[in-house]
A and B are shown apart, each in its own frame.
Chain A
Amino acid sequence: MNKSIFLSVIFHIIIISLTAISFPYMIRKPIDLPPIISIELIQISDFTNIPYAPKAKKILEKIKKEKERVISEQAPPKIVKKEKPDAIPLPKDAKKKKKIKTKKQNPKKIESEIKQVSEFEKKELFDPDQIAALIDKSKVETAETIRKSDKLTQNQDKNFIASGLTLSEEDALKAQIFGCWSIPLGLPYNENLLVRIKLKLKTDGTVIKSEILDHVRMNTPGQGFYKVLAESALRAIRLCQPLRVPTIGYDRWKDLQLNFDANEMLKG
């Protein structure tokens, strides 16, 4: 009886001790996650607005400081050159000054760095431990692209206003001509059914002169359909005139080119 109790206790102790040794080892395994997940996060961050991570702030500041240091080391020491070699406290002042400057310039400098980062540099920067920093960069990048795109659209608008009709003006004109153009239904589907007509307009939208740009096709053998199509387009212009053109900016639209394309309608 005592023997069996003794053996049982010993076996229990062995089992418990083995469990105590092996259990933490078993627990560790699932914790040891590969950093692949972090890569996924970075990619998603390019398209979503992940909230600013407070931990990332600290890492970011560290990175900034490192970079600042690098920048300050690489920067041409113009000021240092001007400094007198005898003046000992100057480097401290200079460092302070630099620090102050870098603090002020911090965000701008980061932006400029991001702009200049090449694909290779990005790869070098990529590190699972610096996810937050990259997230932040992506924010800056998106902000940059938004600013850039804003600038672009403004420019486009300016160009559009300077050289063309506004969308609403164009739509009004199109809608008017759509209603006037009776497309000849017998045209061959597999041919080029584009007729380009250049117009010279009066201020009230009446046509002074109309010119078919591909006039040669009118008398080309095997292109008889083109004559029919061109005539239908001219009929549409005549039927529609005066064209619905803007009341202002005559110089912009006094010459107009209408491209009548029956392909879309006939092919369906």
Chain B
Amino acid sequence: MASHGLILALCLLVGYSVTTHAEPLDEPLKPLPAAPALDPKRVQLGQRLFNDPRLSVNNTLSCASCHRLDKGGADDKQFSLGFDGKPVEVNTPTVFNASLNFHQFWDGRVDTLEEQVHIVVTSPVEMGSDWKTVVKRIADDPGYARDFADAYPSGVTQPNIQGALADYERTLLTPNSRFDQYLLGNTDILTPREKFGYQRFKEYGCIACHQGVNIGGNMFQKFGVMGDYIQDLGNPTRADEGRFNITGDEADRQVFKVPSLRNVAVTAPYFHNGSAPTLERAVEVMFKYQLGREPLKNDTQLIVEFLKTLTGEWEGKPL
């Protein structure tokens, strides 16, 4: 008895928690990893650049103009407006957890966030600028010049601007979603309906594509496996050809990067063309064109409820 007390005291002394956590669940969906350790100076520079309209040719758009962190890391428009006020070709994907995607853009044209920065800054429909201009504007700002010199040996350069932005984006993770807590073993956090929703998510085969740490974002898939959604929607555009525009491979027609479902509840509208205004509609489209299934009554709603548990936190507040 005395020895038990002693062990308990020792355990308390060394801070050993006697309340055992449940084991993390082994599911095809994986919990969000921790944010990487990066140079805070660079991350801070990235944050400033992210909110700096000088990146666009006419000083009208910053990254944050379309990727609004208070709106799920995107905007609520079907198509965001470029520097010239004209809508861009595809719906703005969220910047949150973008670093966990295996490629960037709907058509997956680049592998890294740095390259993504380059494409957006120089895109004639997005920021419409060029690096010479951007680097000059940033370098001419004494505050930037000083802080860049502090964070990078080479000071203000194109790669350093790209790097700072990419580093900042790598910190834009949304931890602590209820579903992540569930995956980490806190199974009581989900309501029975949400658990049912997850079960339906798996049963119907959503999980075939939306899996992994980012619940998607790790493969390409044809949009319209079981039917031609784009045809049915009408008015097909060049952007609807998806990855074909990059590879020129017939097999890549209407193939897109499977988007992450994290924070999906707060990133409407949906799909590359923003054609689904609500989550319910998106789920229905998926059922019909991707899964080729007829959901039973209520199952769509259950899945939507499950999807809402995927909303994480940014700066300690739910998105």
Q: Do A and B bind each other?
A: no
